[in-house]
């Protein structure tokens, strides 16, 4: 078995899927089901660490919203959520976001328009509070993303941004 990648803290690892495929031979229905199971499990383990590494590299380890540049505080966020058909683990469906902006994006506190401008949910804009709300959230409203991949082909897919932004508008 070939171990290609390991993230012990997440208990994830990557093995060569061709090796997993070779574990059982094609033919009977049972081995075919086992084979599909192994391939599926392998793909699930495969995509998360590779997705994270690809997205963080593309964004040069910076949060797209605030430019924070510390890998331990950054996530690779999905634009269309993981598990949905369009929610593929591709860099074009990804954004490097710091923990707070990732949570804000996933809970529709923060939206990203297809033209790459940040919006903050209307009720938060009325609130007065500490520096995270004032600078970290309200201060980003109406601002363009601060970090984007240099390579055009790695930038966020407009259709997926549009789909996600429509949900942000509906939730707000
Ligand atoms: Zn951020």
What distance in Å separates the CA atoms of residue 105 and residue 119, rounded to the nearest whole number? 10
35 CA → ligand 1 middle, Å:
41
pLDDT reported for residue 83: 73
Copy the structure tokens of residue 59: 């964004």
DSSP code of residue 144: B
Same domain, 8 and 66: no
Does 36 lie in the same domain as 67?
A: no
67 alpha carbon to ligand 1 midpoint, in Å? 6
Q: What pLDDT, on the 0 to 100 scale, is given for residue 66?
A: 98
**How far does the centroid of ligand 1 lie from the alpha carbon of residue 84, in Å?**
25
pLDDT of residue 4: 53
Please say whether the dihedral angle defined by the alpha carbons of residues 85, 111, 71 and 61, taken in this order, is positive or negative.
positive
Contact 78, 94 (CB under 8 A): yes
HSE (CB half, 13 Å, CA atoms) of 143?
16
Judgement on whether residues 156 and 90 belong to the same structural domain of the protein: yes
Q: Which residues make up the environment of ion ligand 1, defined by Cβ < 5 Å? A: 63, 65-66, 68, 98, 101
Report pLDDT for 48: 82
Contact criterion met (CB below 8 Å) for 141 and 125: yes
Could you tell me the distance, in angstroms and rounded to a whole number, from the CA of residue 61 to the centre of ligand 1? 11
Verify that 84 and 140 share a domain, yes or no. yes
Ligand 1: centre distance to CA 152 (Å): 21
pLDDT in tens, the chain (172 residues): 445 555 555 555 555 454 444 544 555 566 667 767 666 666 655 578 889 999 999 999 999 999 999 999 999 999 998 777 777 778 999 999 999 999 999 999 999 999 999 999 999 999 999 999 999 999 999 999 999 999 999 999 999 999 999 999 998 7
Q: Do 39 and 8 reside in the same domain of the chain?
A: yes
In angstroms, what is the span from residue 99 Cα to ligand 1's centroid? 7
Report how many domains make up the chain: 2
Domain enclosing residue 67, as ranges: 60-171
Q: Taking the model in full, what pTM does it have?
A: 0.74
Structure tokens at 43: 């793909």
Question: Of 11, 38, 56, which residue sits at a domain end?
Answer: 56
DSSP strands (E only) in 100-163 = 110-112, 118-120
Question: Rounded to the nearest whole angstrom, what is the distance from the C-alpha of residue 97 to the centroid of ligand 1?
Answer: 5
């Amino acid at each position: 078995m070939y171990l290609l990648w390991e993230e012990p803290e997440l208990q994830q690892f990557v093995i060569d899927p061709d090796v997993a495929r070779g574990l059982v031979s094609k033919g009977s229905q049972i081995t075919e089901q086992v084979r599909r199971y192994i391939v599926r499990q392998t793909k699930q383990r495969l995509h998360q660490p590779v997705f994270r590494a690809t997205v963080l590299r593309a964004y040069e380890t910076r949060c797209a919203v605030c430019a924070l540049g510390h890998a331990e505080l950054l996530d690779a966020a999905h634009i269309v959520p993981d598990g949905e058909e369009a929610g593929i683990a591709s860099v074009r469906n990804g954004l490097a976001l710091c923990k707070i902006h990732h949570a804000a994006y996933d809970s529709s506190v923060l939206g990203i328009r297809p033209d790459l401008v940040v919006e903050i949910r209307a009720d938060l804009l009325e609130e007065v509070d500490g520096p995270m709300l004032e600078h970290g959230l309200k201060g980003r409203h109406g601002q363009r993303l601060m970090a984007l991949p240099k390579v055009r082909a790695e930038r966020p897919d407009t259709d997926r941004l549009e789909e996600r932004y429509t949900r942000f508008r509906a939730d707000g």
